[in-house]
Amino acid sequence: MEKQIFVDDKGDYHTICDDLSHKAMQIWLRAGPWEACICDGCEAVHDECGVLGISGFALGKVLGDGVRDWPLVTGPTVRDVLAQISDVDLSLAWLITQNAIVTGKAAEFLRVSFAGKPGWEVHCMIDDAPVNWDAVTGAGAKPFGMYALDRLRLEKGYRAWKTDLSTDYTIYEAGLERFISAGKQNHDSGIVDSLNAAKTGAKKRFVTLNVEARDADAPYMSTIWQGGHVVGETTSGGWGYRIDGSIALGVVRADLAVEGTALEVEIYGERCKAVVQKDTPLWDPHNERIRA
């Protein structure tokens, strides 16, 4: 039997984006019929416990039991939720993987969260997913979607594949040099030479910007200006509810990637003031919450 996802007797927002009218599709604007759903999803993760289902990847209506897969459950009360439905060891540290039982079925738990709160990715058999979904939401987890997750990860400065991370930028331009050990023993000499050349020759650097945006946040590939010169481009942007401000991630000329540098981001033809931030997350800069 087919079921419409996120529909309940409380009239929650989970079918709001099924409206395919022109107004409802103007998602480049911050305010709209979708914003209450995004805000509620962020608040659930921030204050309680949220669960991201496969359906969170879709804007419109998705049908069938398969949409009740749930790859991520996260938030400050996540342990209370998981303790009700599984035997997972909730004391294990960040980035640890373990096998456990959920609603009588085997699953794999990876302690990681793209939302910046304590959480676990939960991987189970497809046929077990609907029952597990009902169990985790019944235990108190609130559904949230990818738009909410995107806002949350921006506050942490987490890069997203194919927007912030792509073959358009080198490892050093993307700010990922901490993951490289160019001097590692037995490292291929050609790779070392390439990495060193990329480091010394990097013309751009990755930055986080606070933007004085108006009705819309910076979309992908918004132009970044200083004076009358183009100095870079944004790779993603959105509103951060926990910091109460507009955030943009992007790549700028290397000499401008300094905290406090004043720039402008062109958002749909209008230049908005922006400031380069310190190279740490805007929210929970020392990862104390996500490690809790």
User: How confident is the model over 209-260, as pLDDT tens digits?
Assistant: 999 999 999 999 999 999 999 999 999 999 999 999 999 999 999 999 999 9
State the Rg of the chain over Cα.
Answer: 21
pLDDT digits (tens, 9 = 90+) for 10-59: 444 444 445 556 666 667 788 877 788 889 899 999 999 999 876 555 44
Q: What integer pLDDT is reported at residue 146 of this predicted model?
A: 87
Q: What integer pLDDT is reported at residue 242 of this predicted model?
A: 93
CB 291 within 8 A of CB 237: no
Predicted confidence (pLDDT) at residue 206 exceeds the cutoff of 70: yes
**Nearest C-alpha neighbor of 233 from the set 255, 201, 205:** 205
All domains of the chain in start order, with CATH = 16-154 (3.30.1360.120), 157-276 (2.40.30.110)
Rounded Cα distance between 57 and 90, Å, is: 27
Predicted confidence (pLDDT) at residue 61 exceeds the cutoff of 90: no
Rounded Cα distance between 113 and 119, Å, is: 5
pTM: predicted TM-score of the whole model, two decimal places: 0.84
Predicted confidence (pLDDT) at residue 289 exceeds the cutoff of 70: yes
Q: Choose between 234 and 131: higher pLDDT.
A: 234
Please give the structure tokens belonging to residue 83: 């303790």
Please give the structure tokens belonging to residue 55: 């359906």
Sign, CA dihedral 6-7-10-16, equals positive
CB 274 within 8 A of CB 211: yes
Which residues are within 8 A (CB) of 167 and not within 5 positions of it... i.e. 6 or more apart? none
Q: What percent of the chain has pLDDT over 90?
A: 56
Helix (H) or strand (E) holding 130: helix 129-138
Q: Choose between 175 and 91: higher pLDDT.
A: 91
